[in-house]
Amino acid sequence: MIFMIDPMQALVFVIFLVILQQLEGNIIYPKVEDTFWSKVIGLGYPTPEAPGFRWCTERLKINPMNKFVNERIKESKEEKRATEENLKEQRTVEYSYTFKGSDLKSVTDSFIKKMSSLSTTMSPITGFDMKA
């Protein structure tokens, strides 16, 4: 409908929707029993007066935000742990496939050649005396 009236506005609207879908929104709110009206009307709490009794700030803002942040931290730790486990598993699988396709003798021979090229030959100790 909007495309028939103004195609440029329709294009801007579609671009706006695509950008909007890329954002992740989280609505942070307190538990129902900790809402402002349930405390004031339901339990008879006095309304907060500045700079005095401010019971609502912690229940309405601080506690829900702390809960949200702690949940995100827990999720990120679980994701990190799962990623590390996947990497370890991939390394193990890659290592096992490396030796399945090749002959063990050729692998050990190449290992011995590498090690012998790195090592140096030492002459035996002569004239060593324990008496000083």
| Residue-level pLDDT at 103 | 57
Rg (CA), the chain: 35
Q: What is the pLDDT of residues 106-119, one digit of tens each?
A: 666 776 776 666 65
CB 54 within 8 A of CB 48: yes
This prediction has a pTM of 0.45
Q: Distance (Å, rounded) from C-alpha 63 to C-alpha 31?
A: 10
Select the more confidently predicted residue: 12 or 1. 12
- Which candidate, 109, 39, 28, 111, places its Cα nearest to that of 65? 28
pLDDT in tens, 42-87: 888 888 776 766 777 888 888 888 999 999 898 888 888 888 888 8
Classified as helix, coil or strand, 11 is helix
Type of residue numbered 76: S
Q: How confident is the model at residue 25 (pLDDT cuts 50, 70, 90)?
A: confident
Strands (E), 7-132: none
